[in-house]
Amino acid sequence: MNNVSPLLSTRLVSMGISSVKSSDEGKRSYENSRNSYMVYPEDIGPSDDAFHGSKKHVAAEWWYFDAIFDNGYSVHVGFRTFSRKNFGLVSPMIEIYSEGNLEAKASGFYPFNVFKTSKNTPVLKLFDKPVVKFDYRRFVERKEWAYRVSMKMKDCEVNLYFVGTSKGWKIETEAESWIVPLPKALVTGEIKFKGECMRVEGVGYHDHNWNYTLLTVMNYGRGWYWGRINTKKFTIVWANILRKSYRWEPLAVISQEKGGFVVVNPDAVFFECNGFVRSHGRRIPTCFKLKIDDKTGSTPVQADVVMRAKNVHYESVAVLLPYFRYHVETKGVIRVGSKKERIKGVQIMESLSLG
């Protein structure tokens, strides 16, 4: 999730905690042993992934797509808006990797008047050309979430089709909001860069964040690690958030292939970083360990995963904030209920520091 926010501290919640109470927004929530106030995920509809905008403050909103292809290439396609009412900027981006090494990148900023969208369905247009378009017909006929992502910038171009294979969800608060329509997706299409055109197939992910202002950053965390891990039957979306009190909070949620999601008790998630090296003036980890041992809910969940950095791509977010995108080799095991799977392969994760 490119530029994920501290909303992750409210995103992933537990079904097995007794101290459930109602929030000010009327949504179900609970307070865990770390005294973290968390809100339950909700079902989603197409309008949740549409443009939301902001009337009160200048706010950031972004759609994030990534995919890891069978031929060793991977891609990130992003579309960001910075706006208040009908004024602002939009920023599309394409990043193409080979074996985790950045091969090509194209991005830009454009005035808000060249951007067209909808508040009813997910569609983003730049200069009247669709960049992201939700396949509403497929949704009506098959109840499947699918997107056409088509973008051309400088010498980079993508034309990709994402079809979701697991149930999406959302969390909304007064401070910010997050939807994961595609925890896991099958991706097909073409990528073009440096004069080369390549047919690709692989596995992808899509999420969307909105209502992010300076107050969001000031009132929540100081940074985070985020990632996801795919197997044939499961996807783990995980995070480790550094709160303003300098307390780390590890979290995770499990999506099931062709099914729903299992919400993990945050107190049963353990995250560890080691193998630190110097990179771009900062000390960053190169090895990560994720453990889950949750027997509190109706579906027990266990996982033990090691993620080792294969390649790390650095860039700055909002000019000053250091952002690292990792391609990591994963190895481990996951068990959900009576189903067990080995974990092995390359995945994408990230870290961001807010200072």
What 3 state SS string does the chain have?
CCCCCCCHHHHCCCCCCCCEEECCCCCEEEECCCCCEEECCECCCHHHHCCCCCCCCCEEEEEEEEEEECCCEEEEEEEEEEEECCEEEEEEEEEEEECCEEEEEEECCEEHHHEEECCCCCEEEECCEEEEEECHHHHHHHCCCEEEEEEEECCEEEEEEEEECCCCEEEECCCCEEEEEEEEEEEEEEEEECCEEEEEEEEEEEEEEEEECHHHHHHCCCEEEEEEEECCCEEEEEEEEECCCCCEEEEEEEEECCCCEEECCHHHEEEEEECCEEECCEEECCEEEEEEEECCCCCCEEEEEEEEEEEEEEEEECCCEEEEEEEEEEEEEEEECCEEEEEEEEEEEEEEECC
| Separation CA 294–CA 232 (nearest Å) | 21
Question: What pLDDT sits at residue 224?
Answer: 84
CATH number 1.10.3720.10 given to 41-220: no
Question: What pLDDT sits at residue 80?
Answer: 92
Question: What pLDDT sits at residue 321?
Answer: 78
Question: What pLDDT sits at residue 59?
Answer: 84
Question: What pLDDT sits at residue 243?
Answer: 72
Q: Please identify every stretch of the chain with a pLDDT value under 70, giving residue numbers as ranges.
A: 1-40, 175-176, 215-221, 318-319, 354-355
Question: What pLDDT sits at residue 217?
Answer: 67
| CATH superfamily of domain region 221-355 | AttH-like domain (2.40.370.10)
Question: What pLDDT sits at residue 318?
Answer: 62
Question: What pLDDT sits at residue 19?
Answer: 28
| Separation CA 277–CA 211 (nearest Å) | 35
Exposure of 270 by Cβ count < 10 A (0-12 exposed, 13-18 middle, 19+ buried)? Answer: middle
Question: What pLDDT sits at residue 30?
Answer: 40
Question: What pLDDT sits at residue 248?
Answer: 84
Strand partners, 152: 157
Question: What pLDDT sits at residue 57?
Answer: 81
> What residue ranges of the chain are covered by domains with CATH 2.40.370.10?
41-220, 221-355
